[in-house]
Amino acid sequence: MRSVSVRFPPLLLTVPDTARRLKLHEQTIRAMIRRGDLAAIRLGRLIRILAATVDRAAGAVGEPSVRPRAAQRVLRRAPVRVRA
C-alpha cells in the first residue's frame, strides 16, 4: 500500500515569505507588525506572521488605509517685532 502525502499550507510565515506574498519590502512588513496591521508571534528572535492575517491583508493591499490620518499641524509664524 502506498502512502499518500498531503501538503498543507503553513499556518505561520516568515517575514520574507510574507513580503513575497504581499509583494512588499521586508521592512514594510516589519513596520506593519509594529503598527499592529499584521498579527505576528515572536519566538525568541524569530518573528512569525499568521497566514490567515496575510491572506486578509492580501486583499487590502493597494486599498487606502482604514487608519485615520493624523491632523496636519498648522505652523504659525511668530510675530516680528521691529525695534525703533
Indicate whether 62 pLDDT > 80.
no
- The answer to whether 48 touches 13, Cβ cutoff 8 Å, is yes
Beta partners for residue 46, in sequence order: 43
Q: What is the pLDDT of residues 22-34, one digit of tens each?
A: 999 999 999 999 9
Mean pLDDT of 4-27: 89
- Predicted TM-score of the model (pTM): 0.61
d(CA 77, CA 22): 44
The residue extents of the domains of the chain are 12-60
The residue ranking higher by pLDDT, 73 or 9, is: 9
